Chains A and B, each alone.
Chain A
Amino acid sequence: MTSAPPTHSSIQSLLQTSAYDPSIIPQLESYVRAQLSSASTSLSSSSDAQYSFDANRTLIKLYQFFPDRQDEGVVAMATLLALMNWPDVEVGCLQCLVGEGVMGSEPCATLVRCSELLESCLFSSFWPELRKLGIPEYGSDPNTPVSEDRKLLANAVNGSKCSNTIRENMLRTLSKVYKNAPLKNVLEALDLKDESSLTAFASKIMVGASNGAENQIGIVEKVENGYVVFASCVENSKRVGSEFKKGVGYGDIARMMQESKIRGQ
């Protein structure tokens, strides 16, 4: 009988009390699997297995301290979870902790390549690479059975949540550069078929965090004449008027005068 995976709160408690005790490695590994299982479904993640970079990073560091306990499959899963959090620098942070031997062999090598493509904003080239990870046998020894962790990784990659999360992050990045972008380019970048798929996908993505508030604005304003028009924001619009930069605040001057006054007494 398999035991239930640890909950988010139990993991947080472990990190507070026993962060560098190697005996917690199995629990942290179990939690990585739980996070990835949660990412494999299209349901919103329950709070029990919410993404925790701190927990995953602590595990990767424990592997750094105890290399004979290292599980490359788990490293790959933690890297995929970090990839889904792009454009945060989490994949880079993990790469600073994992040896080149592990990152150089599959499936981590393809994950690193995916990360490089995201960092270079070569979005259309990203999707074929990501799809390779959706094949459990990809990059593995044909004489070795595919592990359960590798199947879990493949399921997560093939699940809609992983793709849609990365797609949303790409769309937000594009919206900071483009006021309007050629539809063809946007479809290729997001690996979507046509305008209706883009409209359906983008209708759920709001400027800023999606919190269900009524007056939230969709990130894509419209698709017109072969162009995707993004909602205006500070990033994709001209700066209005001359930006008067306050050189020094009243508080700074008041503080300076107070300190001089005290010394003068």
Chain B
Amino acid sequence: MADNLFPDSVKDFVFDLHDASRRSLVPSEQQALYAGSFRDVTAKYFPTSSWPAPEAIASECSNDELFLALYNELTLRHLQSVKRPNVRDRIDGWHAYRKLFDLILSEAPQDGGEKGRDQLYLLPEWCFDILHEFLYQFQGFCQFRTTTYSAAAKTADDPEKSPASHILDSIEVLKENRDAWAVETVLFYLHRLVSVGLQKNVNVTYRYLAYFASVTLSRLECLLGDYKASISALNVIYETDAETLAVGEEMKSPEELVNGVFPARLSLAYHAGVSFLMLRRYKDAARMLGGICLFMQRGFKTGLLRKIPGSDQFNKLFDRMIALLAIVVHICPMPLLDDSIASVVREKHAGNLSKIETGEEGYEELFVFACPKFINPAVPNYDEALKAGALTMPYGQDTYKLQVHHFMNEMTAQQTLRKMRSYMCLYTSIDVEKLASFNDMKVEEFEPWLVCFKHKMQQIEQSNDAGAQDKIGTAMDIHYYVAANSVHVDEAEKTRRFENFFMKQIANNDDILKQIEKLNVNV
């Protein structure tokens, strides 16, 4: 598009955004442009098409390379949201992100030096959106190359069939760009952003990038099936002695920074919840998922969440997290959730839970619905796809199937353990032999289950005290031990305590009052 064909509002937007991010560095100005003007101009002039190419608007931002890379990412993000990307679009996306991160890192201050200190400001939302989209495109690319490979492999066996031309074209482009979206490079950038942003005396934008890169890293590790790494990636956010950082007019902790950007908070909670579940840390999973679901339930009622871009996805993720909570509370009968969320879980998944109670399979259905789209990170050998007898998955790797299989392995014992628990709850002491007969087993067969129950329910839990180390706890709601061939059972305290209910309602009321105080009611 020639310079004189641009609407003035496009030129103004580019000029003003450049000014806000590279010169004036005023958060409120950038907020109005990024969250407001960009959406308005897009809706008016480019609802289903691309913004002008960076080269076409370069003069409006003094040919600033870093800003042009930011602009390119922003506009590509819009384009990919309205038009399904083909293989070349995906490769272009990779080059755009590489260039952007290389430029951001090249301007980063080195080890407390002055370089780059006041040359860049990006809103927290903008920082998160860049990283979130980066990983979303990586995830999409991994899925794309796996399905392309599988489509080619399926027709390879039949000499009368050949893969469709678009499949062959895609395979050729993928072969020419084997390094595109390489997982080790994606990890490199995320780790580098974290380490650069956590240096002393660094520009606040780099700190934003560091913490949101941690959230993104946690998500990536979860999608790879490395749940311990997923949880460890979040340590920098929850460090008790982390310095606060300026967010607009306020000073916030890293956790408050992340919670202030709702999509980041949601992504963190969901992937951490999945990771805790797969690590058999059921209480931590319930705490993480229950907390975010409660917040969202309130947000849906007040309409607060509808105002956030991308809110159409929130309902889906809410439903998935409720399904995960159904699994967790079924394994751990102790009261872990707020009453309102517990009732949502019961309403939505009563059917599945009663199936599990009767011995039918229900856990897998819940998990398959709720789990993320795990990714196969390895670059396929595309020539193999075109040979007869090729495996339909590259290298026979299927990360998704592996996670489902591992989850179901964990769940196979749960039915027997639930039955045991239900009988144990009826007694304060009972002979091992009698308990075995209730469970339709001989004593020799039953005794290992007594040990297995305690073992399976033993878990690591985050300590309630800030800064304290994780501790070993139990997800059981009963306590038992075996002495002289008898099982002695102490049940969990059943007395309903009311102080927690009142404290919770006071805190909820407090949150609502805070939100009301922030409303601008000037007429």
Is A120 in contact with chain B by the CB < 8 A criterion?
yes
Task: Give B517's nearest chain A residue, CB to CB.
Answer: A263
For window 427-459 of B, CB contacts with A under 8 Å fall at 447-452, 454-456, 458
B390 to chain A: closest CB distance in Å? 15
A89:B481 contact, CB within 8 angstroms: no
Q: Is A119 an interface residue (CB 8 A)?
A: yes
Give the residues from 143 to 192 in chain B that come closer than 8 angstroms, CB to CB, to chain A: 183-184, 187-188, 191
The answer on a CB contact under 8 Å between A96 and B402 is yes
A99 & B483 in contact (Cβ 8 Å cutoff) = no
| CB-defined A-B contacts under 8 Å, sample of 28 | A19-B191, A57-B228, A61-B226, A64-B378, A65-B377, A65-B378, A67-B397, A89-B279, A89-B280, A93-B228, A95-B402, A96-B403, A97-B225, A100-B396, A116-B409, A119-B413, A121-B451, A123-B448, A173-B451, A177-B482, A178-B483, A235-B454, A236-B483, A238-B481, A238-B490, A239-B490, A247-B497, A253-B503
**Complex-state Cα separation, A96 to B92, whole angstroms:** 32
The answer to whether A120 touches B279 (Cβ under 8 A) is: no
Q: Are A20 and B279 in contact (CB under 8 A)?
A: no
- A53 vs B228: C-alpha distance when bound (angstroms): 10
The complex places the Cα of A247 from the Cα of B490 at a distance, in Å, of: 20
Segment of A127-135, A144-152, A154-162, A179-187 in the binding face: A179-187
A265 smallest CB distance to B (angstroms): 13
**Which B residue sits closest to A174, measured CB to CB?**
B451
**Which of A22, A89, A100, A227 lies in contact with B405, CB distance below 8 A?**
A100
Q: Chain A nearest CB: distance from B176 CB in Å?
A: 20
Selected contact of A178 from candidates B188, B377, B409, B482, CB within 8 Å = B482
User: Which among A96, A180, A227 has the greatest number of chain B C-beta atoms within 10 A?
Assistant: A96
Within 8 Å of chain B (Cβ to Cβ): is A256?
yes
For the complex formed, measure the closest distance between the CB of B488 and the CB atoms of chain A, giving whole angstroms.
6
Question: Does A3 make an interface contact (CB < 8 A)?
Answer: no
Whole-angstrom CA separation of A260 from B517 in the bound complex = 13
Q: Tell me the minimal C-beta distance from B32 to chain A in angstroms.
A: 28
Find B510's partner among A87, A182, A245, A256 (CB 8 Å cutoff).
Answer: A256
Closest Cβ–Cβ distance, residue B156 to chain A (whole Å): 19
Residues from chain A with Cβ under 8 Å of B224 in the complex: 61, 64, 97
A 225-265 contacts with B by CB, 8 A: 227, 235-239, 242-243, 245, 247-248, 252-253, 256, 259-260, 263
Interface size class of B (residues with CB under 8 A): 35 or more
Contacts of A237 in B (CB 8 A): 481
- Of the candidates B481, B485, B499, the one whose C-beta lies within 8 Å of that of A235 is B481
B187 touches A19 (CB 8 A): yes
B284 to chain A, nearest CB (A): 13
Q: Which residue of B lies closest to A101 (CB)?
A: B396
| A219 to B70 CA separation, bound complex (whole angstroms) | 62
Q: Is the CB of B226 within 8 A of A236?
A: no
The smallest C-beta distance from B426 to any residue of chain A, in angstroms, reads: 18
Contact of A93 among B279, B452, B490 (CB under 8 A): B279
Q: Distance in Å from the Cβ of A140 to the closest Cβ of chain B?
A: 21
Collect the chain B residues with CB atoms within 8 Å of residue A256's CB.
503, 506-507, 510
Question: What CA separation (Å) do A256 and B505 show in the bound complex?
Answer: 12
- By the criterion CB–CB under 8 Å, are B482 and A181 in contact? yes
Does B55 sit within 8 A of A, measured CB to CB?
Answer: no
The CA of A121 and the CA of B485, in the complex, are separated in Å by 18
Task: From the candidates B191, B397, B514, name the one contacting A99 in the complex (CB within 8 A).
Answer: B397
Q: Is B406 an interface residue when CB atoms closer than 8 A count as contact? A: yes
Residues of B within 8 A of A87 (CB): 455, 458
The reply on B229 being an interface residue by CB < 8 A is: yes
Q: Contact at A96–B183, with CB atoms within 8 Å?
A: no
Contact (Cβ within 8 A) B378 A177: no
CB of B452 within 8 A of CB of A120, answer: yes
**Contact for A57 among B188, B229, B401, CB less than 8 A:** B229
- Given A65-B377, A235-B454: A248 and B499 within 8 A (CB)? yes
Write out the residue numbers on chain A whose beta carbons fall within 8 Å of the beta carbon of B1.
Answer: none
Given A100-B402, A116-B409, A173-B451, list of 9 further CB < 8 A pairs?
A20-B187, A61-B224, A89-B280, A99-B397, A227-B484, A252-B503, A253-B503, A256-B503, A256-B506
Task: Tell whether, in the assembled complex, residue A20 and residue B454 are in contact, meaning their CB atoms are under 8 Å apart.
Answer: no
User: Is A92 in the interface zone, CB < 8 Å from B?
Assistant: yes
Contact with A along B393-416 (1 / 0, CB 8 A): 001111001110110011001000
Residues of chain A with a CB closer than 8 A to B227's CB: 93, 96
Q: Is the CB of B493 within 8 A of A245?
A: yes
Given contacts A96-B227, A185-B447, A247-B499, are A21 and B455 in contact (CB under 8 A)?
Answer: no
Closest to B501 in A: A247
The answer, yes or no, to whether A192 is at the interface (CB within 8 Å) is: no
